[in-house]
Structure 1
Amino acid sequence: MRRGEACGLRDEDVDLDGGHLTVVQQITTVAYRPITKNVKSDAGDRVIPLGPKTVAALRAYQVRREGWRQASGDQWPDTGLFFVRPDGKAWHPQTVSDRFDYLIAKSGLPPVRLHDLRHCAATYLRHGGADMKEVQETLGHSNLAITSDTYTSVLLEFQRTYADAAADLIPRAGQHTAGSHGSCGTE
């Protein structure tokens, strides 16, 4: 999800029993003022499947959020948003980025932007066996060319792996394996 999509995710759009969430709105900013609006394209309006580990993490978050709500009592605002601050108010998108940057710096990890996590997600999806169309739909790109152009380096890494695997099948002088009979395994 994009930062604004996560900030704008509503409770009603999250189905943990069904294992998916639906992206329909986002919170973005205009002159630093948060604005809630629909996602920017039909492709952005999408259903994202959730695996069991993600569902478990989101359920744990809901338990924590309920503790915040109970501690706030009557002061808890009913925003209808899934991800909220501990006081129940909506996250400002820039605050999310600032907090992420702080945590990265504090952890000692190499610098990485919050948006770079989308690139990681694309890489992990591809590594897990998703084709480019599935990556496009999950990320909410309006067409496959955007996904392919953006993730060409990811594709090259996979192609390099496949090229090495193919090269490893070619018998070399001094290499004898059971069942190798010359070119392409034929006699």
Structure 2
Amino acid sequence: MTTPRDTPASRRTRANGDGTVYQRKDSRWEAAGYVLAPGNTRKRIRVYGTTRNEALAKLTEKIANSNRGVPIPSAQGSVAAYLTYWLDAVAVDQLRENTHTRYTACVNRYLVPGLGKKKLAKLSAKDVRTWLNQLRTTCQCCSRGIDARRDEARCCAVGSCCSKRLSPLTLTYIHSVLKSALEHAVREEEIPRNVARNVRTGTPRPRRFEPLTTDEARQLLTTTQGHRLCALFELALHTGLRKGELLGLRWEDLDLARGTAAVRRTLQRTSTGGLTTLPTKTRASERRIALPTRCLQSLKVHHERQQHEREAAGTTWQHNGHVFTTPQGRPIDPTNLTRTFTTLLHTAGLRRIRFHDLRHSTATLLLEQGVELVVIKELLGHAHIGVTATVYAHVRLRLQRQAIDTLNDALNSAGNAPDDPSTPAVVR
């Protein structure tokens, strides 16, 4: 009599609804089962793997998504159907909420209107390239009907195109979203290759920014003296912390005795949760940094001021442990911080810049002081030093010019001046 233990692994039965798993003649493992398909129907799908566990894991993931009511599109389905599935069943678990929101807007605004009707299995690199070229040359007011929805038409609706085209950076972002979606389709064996990877969009020029000069930075710091968030702006300029990292700091993250700060979280506003504390942007962003003496003194003064505000607020104070809060103890909305920063720039008589440009200013000033690139990379929390080198390439070129000029002055100094040909040589 054959017992379950004696039954070969490829022929063991599984629970009803779990599908079947067996080994093929080519030594690969195949798993098959029924999942929910578009149109509220069910279809049998097959997935493959080099091991039984790999094939079973792929099938289990698809069945789990199906049980959640997410239809599994087939390669014969449209690109729009697959993008909807990818956003709802895959990307939603892998991306932050704000990033997922941007991906969704990109898919609905550009990908679905441009490529949505094509079959996923028949999508070619030529289709993607043609679509991107069309996006690059098409006025967005015309294609999306923006002008027609205005109270007073002034562009395409009155026959005068403004030629408002997408920037190279936006085109690259749209292309990257498509590549990410198709890459998952390859992993799920819906399509054999990612055709979007065969299309080159070119490398867009880095976003231009104008960091503060040394004199402008001093002027801003002088203007912030006495402001209730003076410590925040000093910390931003001295350490290059991101806006969300500054607002997400808690007193438990600071070691004022040793002069260090642990960057562990960031504060963001999401569409569903409001002001939410999240992990740092990347694993490299989670770091411990040294604090200068000026920041330590400002933080101590800020702590005393916060205690006075807490006493004044009484029972209305909402304690959450954040270093920088409103006078009632609530977290500071990033948008409100931007407004405060813009007001301070106007008061200081400085040109208008983004708050994020304070981070660029920190890196630029450090580079100009001769600080090693690897030290700046660790301070800013970049994942790779190549990111730091690329973003601040203009600063490195200026430093190269200074170095070349210094060498030129040394070679042309009085002691090394060439002999005057009019001076007769002395024969000894």
- The answer, yes or no, to whether TM exceeds 0.5 is yes
**2:414 matched residue in structure 1:** 176
1:1-187 pair list within 5 angstroms:
1-31=241-271, 33-171=274-412, 176-177=414-415, 180=416
Tell me, in whole angstroms, the C-alpha distance in 2 between the residues paired with 1:169 and 1:129: 20
The aligned amino acid for 1:28 is Q
Deviation at 1:129, TM superposition (A): 3.2
What letter is aligned with 1:72?
Answer: A
Take 1:44 and 1:10, find their aligned partners in 2: how far apart are those partners? 16
Structure 1 Cα separation of the partners of residues 404 and 308 of structure 2: 52
- C-alpha distance in 2, partners of 1:156/1:181? 28
State how far apart, in whole Å, the 2-side matches of 1:9 and 1:40 are. 14
Alpha-carbon distance between aligned partners in 2 of 1:55 and 1:34, rounded to the nearest angstrom:
27
Q: Please give the alpha-carbon distance, in whole angstroms, between the structure 1 residues aligned to 2:295 and 2:369.
A: 15
Q: Tell me the distance in 2 between the aligned counterparts of 1:129 and 1:20.
A: 23
TM-score (norm 1): 0.88
Distance in 2 between residues matched to 1:22 and 1:118, nearest whole Å: 17
Deviations 1:97-142 (A, max 9, x none): 1221222234321111100000110012223332111111111111
Pairwise CA distance, 1:24: 0.4
- Aligned residues with identical type, % of pairs: 31
Structure showing greater relative contact order (alpha-carbon pairs closer than 8 Å, 6 or more residues apart): 1
2:351 and 2:245 map into 1 onto residues whose CA distance is 25
Moved more, 67-76 or 35-44: 67-76
> In the aligned structure 2, how far is the partner of 1:38 from the partner of 1:122?
23
Distance 1:157 1:63 in 2: 43
Max radius of gyration: which structure?
A: 2
Corresponding position of 2:237: none
**How many corresponding residue pairs?**
177
Give the letter for the 1:83 counterpart. Answer: F
Runs of 4+ in 1 over 6 A off after TM superposition: none
Q: CA deviation at 1:74?
A: 2.6
Secondary structure of 1:28's counterpart equals: strand
Which amino acid in structure 1 is aligned with residue 267 of structure 2?
I
Q: Find the aligned partners of 2:338 and 2:271 in 1 and give their Cα distance.
A: 16
Kindly state the Cα deviation for residue 30 of structure 1 after the two structures are TM-superposed: 1.9
What is the match of residue 185 of structure 1?
Answer: none
Deviates further, 100-109 or 55-64: 100-109
Q: d(CA) in 1 for partners of 2:393 and 2:325? A: 35
For residues 27-66 of structure 1, what are the alpha-carbon distances to aligned partners after superposition, in whole Å with 9 as ceiling and x for unaligned? Answer: 1122382221100211100111111111111111112111
SS of the equivalent of 1:26 reads strand
User: Does the 8 A contact of 2:275 with 2:331 survive in 1?
Assistant: no
CA–CA separation in structure 1 for the residues paired with 2:255 and 2:370? 24
Task: Give 5+ residue unaligned stretches, structure 2.
Answer: 1-240, 419-428
Q: How far is 1:181 from its partner?
A: 8.1
CA–CA separation in structure 2 for the residues paired with 1:65 and 1:128: 34
Letter in 1 for 2:331: A
SS at match of 1:169: helix
| Structure 1 unmatched ranges of 5 or more | 183-187
